[in-house]
C-alpha cells in the first residue's frame, strides 16, 4: 500500500518563520523616512505642545536642494494631513503624480494654535488659514529658483500676513541624501514622474489646468537639473535658472487664470481622499 503524507504548514523543513511586524516590512530607506517623519510628528515647541497635533496650520515640502516644491493647509490636524501625503499617499497631489514623495527631503509646519477647538466651519479661522497658506505660498515662490512650485491649485488670493513661527524637520538622513540625491538618480526619477503625470493627463483626458501647469513646471525642473549635470561633466559653471522663464511658459503663478480674483474659491484648497 502506498504511503501518504501531509505537507507541513510550517514548510518542508518543519521550522516555522515568525510573521514580521508590518513596520518591519518596508525597505530600509522607507523605514528610515518614516522614522524621521515620526520624530517630526513627536517634536514639541517651547511650550511642550506637539507641533503636528495642531488642528489648524499650513505646511511646505522641500526637495534635496532645499527647493520648495509644495505648500498646503489643513483644519483637521497637521499630522493627519501630512500622513495622507507622505505615509498613506492618499491625497490628490500624490495620486495624480503631481507630488513625488521620493523628492520630499524636508517638511516645514506653521501651526495656528489660537484656533484649537474651533470648528472647521468657522469663517474667521478659515480666512486666517487661507491667508497663512497664501503667504507661505508667496514665500515659496520667492525662494524658488524657478519662481514656481508644484501646487495644482494655487491658494485663494488673500492679503499677505507675517508668517508665525515655523518648525522645519529633515525626512532623510545624510547618507540617504548622498545616495538618492545623486543627480543621475534624481534625473531618472524626475523623468519617470513626468511620464506618470503625462499618463494621467492622457488617460483621464479631462484634467485641471493646474495639472497641466504642473507638468510644465516639472519639465522645467527636469531640464534644469539635467543642464546642471551636463555643465558639471563639462567642467563649466552651472547654468542660470533664469535661462528658463516659467512665467513665460505658464503665465502668472500668483493666481488661477480662470479665477484671478479668487471669487470662486470656497476658501479651502485642501484635497480630499
Nearest CA to 62 out of 110, 106, 108, 109 is that of 106
What per-residue confidence (pLDDT) applies to 2? Answer: 52
What per-residue confidence (pLDDT) applies to 266? Answer: 41
Q: Are 228 and 234 in contact (CB under 8 A)?
A: no
Radius of gyration of the chain (CA): 22
Phi, psi of 62 (to 5 degrees): -130, 150
What per-residue confidence (pLDDT) applies to 232? Answer: 97
Nearest CA to 267 out of 126, 81, 133 is that of 126
What per-residue confidence (pLDDT) applies to 21? Answer: 80
What per-residue confidence (pLDDT) applies to 202? Answer: 96
Tens place of pLDDT for every residue, the chain, 273 residues? 555 555 554 555 556 788 888 777 778 888 999 999 999 999 999 999 999 999 999 999 999 999 999 999 999 999 999 999 998 877 888 878 899 999 999 999 999 999 999 999 999 999 999 999 999 999 999 999 999 999 999 999 999 999 999 999 999 999 999 998 999 999 999 999 999 999 999 999 899 999 999 999 999 999 999 999 999 999 999 999 999 999 999 999 999 887 766 555 444 444 433
Q: Are 208 and 247 in contact (CB under 8 A)?
A: no
Which uninterrupted H or E stretch holds 204? Answer: helix 183-204
Cα gap 35→234, rounded to integer Å: 39
Cα gap 150→71, rounded to integer Å: 8
Amino acid at each position: 500500500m502506498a504511503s501518504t503524507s501531509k505537507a507541513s504548514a510550517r514548510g518542508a523543513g518543519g521550522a516555522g518563520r515568525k510573521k514580521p511586524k508590518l513596520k518591519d516590512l518596508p525597505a530600509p530607506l522607507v523605514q528610515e523616512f518614516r522614522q524621521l517623519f515620526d520624530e517630526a510628528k513627536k517634536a514639541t515647541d517651547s511650550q511642550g505642545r506637539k507641533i503636528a497635533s495642531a488642528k489648524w496650520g499650513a505646511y511646505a515640502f522641500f526637495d534635496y536642494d532645499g527647493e520648495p516644491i509644495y505648500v498646503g493647509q489643513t483644519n483637521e490636524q497637521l499630522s493627519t494631513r501630512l500622513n495622507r501625503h507622505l505615509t498613506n499617499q492618499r491625497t490628490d497631489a500624490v495620486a495624480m503624480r503631481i507630488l513625488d514623495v521620493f523628492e520630499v527631503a524636508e517638511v516645514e509646519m506653521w501651526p495656528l494654535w489660537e484656533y484649537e477647538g474651533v470648528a472647521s466651519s468657522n469663517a474667521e479661522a478659515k480666512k486666517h488659514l487661507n491667508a497663512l497658506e497664501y503667504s507661505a505660498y508667496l514665500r515659496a515662490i520667492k525662494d524658488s529658483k524657478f519662481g514656481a512650485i508644484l501646487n495644482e491649485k494655487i491658494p485663494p488670493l488673500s492679503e499677505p500676513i507675517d508668517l508665525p513661527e515655523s518648525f522645519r524637520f529633515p525626512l532623510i538622513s545624510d547618507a540617504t541624501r548622498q545616495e538618492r540625491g545623486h543627480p543621475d538618480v534624481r534625473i531618472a526619477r524626475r523623468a519617470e514622474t513626468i511620464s506618470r503625470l503625462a499618463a494621467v493627463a492622457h488617460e483621464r483626458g479631462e484634467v485641471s489646468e493646474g495639472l497641466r501647469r504642473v507638468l510644465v513646471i516639472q519639465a522645467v525642473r527636469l531640464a534644469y537639473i539635467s543642464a546642471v549635470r551636463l555643465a558639471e561633466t563639462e567642467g563649466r559653471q552651472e547654468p542660470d535658472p533664469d535661462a528658463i522663464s516659467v512665467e513665460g511658459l505658464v503665465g502668472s503663478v500668483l493666481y488661477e487664470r480662470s479665477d484671478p480674483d479668487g471669487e470662486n474659491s470656497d476658501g479651502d484648497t485642501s484635497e480630499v481622499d
